[in-house]
Chains A and B, each alone.
Chain A
Amino acid sequence: MTRRTGMEIAFAAAEAVALCKPDVVAAYPITPNTHIPEHLSDIVADGRIDADFICVESEHSALSACCGASAAGARTFTATSSQGLLFMAEVMPIVSAMRLPVVMAIGNRALSAPINIWNDHSDIMSQRDTGWISVFASNGQEVVDMVIQGFKIAEHRDVLLPLNINLDGFQLTHVVEPMLFPDQEEVERFLPEYKPYATVHPDRVVSMGTLGMPEIFNEAMKAKDMGLINSKKVILEVWREWEEQFGRKHEPIEAYRTEGANVLLLTVGSMGETAEVAIDELRDRKMPAGLLKLKLWRPFPLEELRKAVKGAKVLAVMDRAVSCGGSAGPVCAEVKSALYGEPGCPVIVNYIIGLGGRDVTAEDFIQIVEKAAKADKEKPKEAYEIYGVRGS
């Protein structure tokens, strides 16, 4: 039976992983994800799950060990943040190219310097093109759901790709929230045992990770890219199954009060919950504004986005990372290229907010919507604005 329990979301993520009975967990501490592996190691130490917890000496080794364990046929999990993710960077595209369904939680945190332990999305955005499935949670319940769904999606025979679940550092990792936890039997009904396609074992000898010459490299990259694009079908299928079994709906882009909206906000991660408050307030003031919460980042939901923005005059995209010297923040650049040439495409404006843990309030979103509403008549001079910079 499903139970509702209040706990810190990082602990909840670990509990959700435990429900999936991983075989090998390898992780290295870095704030703000640390409570996830800490709590998992408690679970292992108490014998609640039969798994090996490898206390590696770096994040590079954490992902490398997951890679080895997954190649041996084990269900594997790791978690990290920020500099830790960058330390894993070398191994990130290898895990996906080798089609190893490693699942990772990322407690999103700013990249140094200045060193800063608080939230933004510069860590995952730097790893955007590595071939991982990437989802963003906006609250604790979604974290729990996405972890359990994550193993099913990643390990699906038509997918076999690594998957990361992004939860904002502190805003989510350290917040206590009441969440529904499915019980063990329900999870087992939903999530089948992992049946790997090929493993390193003497009973069926294979070479994995071989050298690819130019003659086959395009084909290898095309295969990986197609694998990721095609994974969307499975993601949608798994989310439908989830809704049937647990009654909670998940969509690539979740719309909030978008009926007749002239101005749409598009958010990623936990700021979506704050933005809802702003939209309610604006609607009370008879301002036709709505909200799109992007949950599926890779593969990018092109069709869903095109459909979701239909009828809006202005689309204000919120980014929580800077693409220094570029044309827009990473989310906005993606949105613009997805909508380029679409008939009736709204005017797109881009605000970069909440860097390095800077607080984002409902009032900020109200101001942004009010400002963005004017973009319809007069396009802003700058391609993007880093919002709320003091002294500017």
Chain B
Amino acid sequence: MSIVENFDLYAPRLADKEEYFSAGHRACQGCGEALAIRLMCKALGKDTVIINATGCMEVISSLYPTTAWKLPWLHVAFPNSASVGSGVEAGLKVLRRKGRIPDRDVKAVSIGGDGGTVDIGIQALSGAMERGHDLLYVCFDNEAYMNTGIQRSGATPFGASTSTDPVGSVSFGKKAWKKNVAEIMVAHNVPYVATACHSYPIDFMNKVKKARKIKGPSYIHCLSVCPTGWRLLPELAIKAGRLAVETGIFPLYEVDNGQYRMTIRQERLRPVEDYLKLQGRFRHLDPEEIELFQERVNQEYKKLMSKIECLPSWSDL
């Protein structure tokens, strides 16, 4: 109770009161992706250009003649928000240098869903990061192609049932493991890479602010709960995000100049089942499959912890 009463006292210090992603857009109830975008915009502030890949967020926010965006916003197509963003960044930089736009730092921020990032857009993303544009890329990962009806993506987790890799009498859903794009970005020597989730809003916004300041490429992979696609009650969206972190399925960390740091630490990991059982997309998994899932999570978590313990910052090498 006291937190709500004092909200106006302390919240402005944590988050910008200004809304850059306004209410009235057409996202489903409980959409984690829309919430994450709202938080991201608060952390970025006014001097930002958003470049949006095709997907749920573009569709729900930009139905002509309305727009939810109070930041300059550009959508071109599905696979290319990173390359369009490269062009925006280059354009702003050259025009500023030539005195044709005000001499002020305006950040280009490309965003996309998991499909637009880890699958069809990965080439454009890799190119943009390799070239070293002053560009922040944020992937809003709801673990499937939601806009087109919950089809499987490279970011869909093992065992999830989707409309193109469904559970059936001879199949338990997706057989491959989730592609880890944050690690692929680290391998590009991107100076700042982080994972985030809207269920940890301050952690997410801090990471966005940090990335915003980098003069060069940066990447944030934000797990975004999709109640519609995950077959989950809308009021459980925040909880599901927290459980993804508390089970170690989606650890929240950052990689700052090569140095790994867990930003939300867990004393002890909860069993993955706590997370899986909330969601219709995993309902069919049997104990053996859940056990496989658990083993893989333990292994990945250990790998991450060893990086956190062993890898120094590049500047200390």
Pair B75/A210 contact, Cβ less than 8 Å: yes
Partner of B90, one of A65, A199, A208: A65
* Segment from A29-37, A68-76, A267-275, A318-326 that makes contact with B: A68-76
Q: Considering the chains assembled together, what is the distance between the CA atoms of A50 and B90 in angstroms?
A: 12
Of the listed residues B62, B84, B85, B101, the one surrounded by the most CB atoms of chain A closer than 10 A to its CB is B84
As a 0/1 sequence over residues 71 to 92 of chain A, the CB contacts with chain B under 8 angstroms (1 = contact) are 1111010000000000000110
Q: Which residues B60-83 have CB closer than 8 A to chain A?
A: 62-65, 67, 69-77, 79-80, 82-83
Beyond known contacts A23-B91, A56-B83, A69-B90: 13 more, CB 8 A cutoff: A52-B91, A52-B93, A55-B131, A64-B76, A68-B108, A201-B106, A202-B71, A203-B102, A207-B75, A208-B73, A209-B62, A210-B64, A212-B64
* Segment from B41-49, B189-197, B265-273 that makes contact with A: B41-49
Which of chain A's residues have a CB closer than 8 A to the CB of B127? 56-58, 61
Q: B100 contacts the other chain (Cβ, under 8 Å)?
A: yes
Pair A23/B64 contact, Cβ less than 8 Å: no
- Assuming A64-B77, A71-B74, is B87 touching A213 (CB within 8 A)? no
- Assuming A211-B59, A213-B63, is B88 touching A50 (CB within 8 A)? no
Pair A57/B123 contact, Cβ less than 8 Å: yes
Q: Considering the chains assembled together, what is the distance between the CA atoms of A34 and B64 in angstroms?
A: 40
Q: How many residues of B contact A (CB 8 A)?
A: 50
Partner of A61, one of B59, B89, B124: B124
Shortest CB distance A169–B (Å)? 25
Q: A17 contacts the other chain (Cβ, under 8 Å)?
A: no
Pair B64/A211 contact, Cβ less than 8 Å: yes
Q: B94 contacts the other chain (Cβ, under 8 Å)?
A: yes
Q: B176 contacts the other chain (Cβ, under 8 Å)?
A: no
Q: A216 contacts the other chain (Cβ, under 8 Å)?
A: yes
Q: Please, could you name 17 A-B residue pairs with CB atoms under 8 Å apart, sorted by A?
A: A24-B90, A50-B98, A54-B86, A54-B131, A61-B80, A64-B80, A64-B86, A65-B83, A66-B87, A68-B89, A70-B87, A72-B88, A94-B77, A201-B72, A203-B102, A205-B71, A207-B72
Q: Considering the chains assembled together, what is the distance between the CA atoms of A215 and B143 in angstroms?
A: 32
Of the listed residues A23, A50, A70, A216, the one surrounded by the most CB atoms of chain B closer than 10 A to its CB is A23
Q: Considering the chains assembled together, what is the distance between the CA atoms of A146 and B75 in angstroms?
A: 30
Which of chain B's residues have a CB closer than 8 A to the CB of A208? 73-75
Q: Considering the chains assembled together, what is the distance between the CA atoms of A90 and B86 in angstroms?
A: 18
Which of chain B's residues have a CB closer than 8 A to the CB of A66? 87
Q: B236 contacts the other chain (Cβ, under 8 Å)?
A: no
Of the listed residues B64, B67, B123, B130, the one surrounded by the most CB atoms of chain A closer than 10 A to its CB is B64
Q: B97 contacts the other chain (Cβ, under 8 Å)?
A: yes
Q: A26 contacts the other chain (Cβ, under 8 Å)?
A: yes
- Assuming A64-B80, A65-B83, A211-B62, is B94 touching A200 (CB within 8 A)? no
Which of chain B's residues have a CB closer than 8 A to the CB of A68? 51, 74, 76, 83-91, 108
Q: B14 contacts the other chain (Cβ, under 8 Å)?
A: no
- Assuming A56-B86, A60-B83, A209-B75, is B124 touching A51 (CB within 8 A)? no
Pair B91/A24 contact, Cβ less than 8 Å: yes
Q: A206 contacts the other chain (Cβ, under 8 Å)?
A: yes
Q: How many residues of A contact B (CB 8 A)?
A: 45
Partner of B63, one of A24, A62, A65, A210: A210
Pair A91/B76 contact, Cβ less than 8 Å: yes
Q: Considering the chains assembled together, what is the distance between the CA atoms of A62 and B131 in angstroms?
A: 13
- Assuming A50-B94, A68-B51, is B80 touching A91 (CB within 8 A)? yes
Which of chain B's residues have a CB closer than 8 A to the CB of A57? 123-124, 126-127, 130
Q: Considering the chains assembled together, what is the distance between the CA atoms of A65 and B62 in angstroms?
A: 22
Which of chain A's residues have a CB closer than 8 A to the CB of B98? 23, 50
Pair B87/A72 contact, Cβ less than 8 Å: yes
Pair B87/A24 contact, Cβ less than 8 Å: yes
Which of chain A's residues have a CB closer than 8 A to the CB of B82? 61
Which of chain B's residues have a CB closer than 8 A to the CB of A94? 76-77
Q: Considering the chains assembled together, what is the distance between the CA atoms of A24 and B100 in angstroms?
A: 14
Shortest CB distance B53–A (Å)? 11
Q: Which residues B96-124 have CB closer than 8 A to chain A?
A: 97-98, 100-102, 106, 108, 123-124
Of chain B, the residue at the smallest CB distance from A23 is B94
Which of chain B's residues have a CB closer than 8 A to the CB of A353? none
Which of chain A's residues have a CB closer than 8 A to the CB of B72? 199-202, 205-207
Pair A73/B100 contact, Cβ less than 8 Å: yes
Shortest CB distance A151–B (Å)? 16
Q: Considering the chains assembled together, what is the distance between the CA atoms of A69 and B95 in angstroms?
A: 10
Which of chain A's residues have a CB closer than 8 A to the CB of B33? none
Q: B58 contacts the other chain (Cβ, under 8 Å)?
A: yes
Q: A235 contacts the other chain (Cβ, under 8 Å)?
A: no
Pair B63/A211 contact, Cβ less than 8 Å: yes
Which of chain B's residues have a CB closer than 8 A to the CB of A64? 76-77, 80, 83-84, 86-87, 124
Q: Considering the chains assembled together, what is the distance between the CA atoms of A202 and B108 in angstroms?
A: 11
Which of chain B's residues have a CB closer than 8 A to the CB of A54? 86-87, 90, 131
Q: B92 contacts the other chain (Cβ, under 8 Å)?
A: yes
Q: A67 contacts the other chain (Cβ, under 8 Å)?
A: yes
Of chain A, the residue at the smallest CB distance from B97 is A50
- Assuming A52-B90, A64-B83, is B95 touching A202 (CB within 8 A)? no
Pair A24/B71 contact, Cβ less than 8 Å: no
Pair B76/A207 contact, Cβ less than 8 Å: no
Of chain A, the residue at the smallest CB distance from B68 is A207
Q: Considering the chains assembled together, what is the distance between the CA atoms of A50 and B97 in angstroms?
A: 9
Pair B76/A60 contact, Cβ less than 8 Å: no
Of chain B, the residue at the smallest CB distance from A98 is B76
Which of chain A's residues have a CB closer than 8 A to the CB of B85? 68
- Assuming A24-B90, A58-B123, is B74 touching A209 (CB within 8 A)? yes
Which of chain B's residues have a CB closer than 8 A to the CB of A209? 62, 74-76
Of chain A, the residue at the smallest CB distance from B80 is A64
Which of chain A's residues have a CB closer than 8 A to the CB of B63? 210-211, 213
Pair B87/A201 contact, Cβ less than 8 Å: no
Which of chain A's residues have a CB closer than 8 A to the CB of B69? 205, 207
Of chain B, the residue at the smallest CB distance from A25 is B90
Shortest CB distance B29–A (Å)? 20
Pair A213/B64 contact, Cβ less than 8 Å: yes
Q: Considering the chains assembled together, what is the distance between the CA atoms of A137 and B76 in angstroms?
A: 30
Q: Considering the chains assembled together, what is the distance between the CA atoms of A301 and B76 in angstroms?
A: 30
As a 0/1 sequence over residues 116 to 129 of chain A, the CB contacts with chain B under 8 angstroms (1 = contact) are 00000000000000
Shortest CB distance B149–A (Å)? 17
Q: Considering the chains assembled together, what is the distance between the CA atoms of A365 and B102 in angstroms?
A: 58
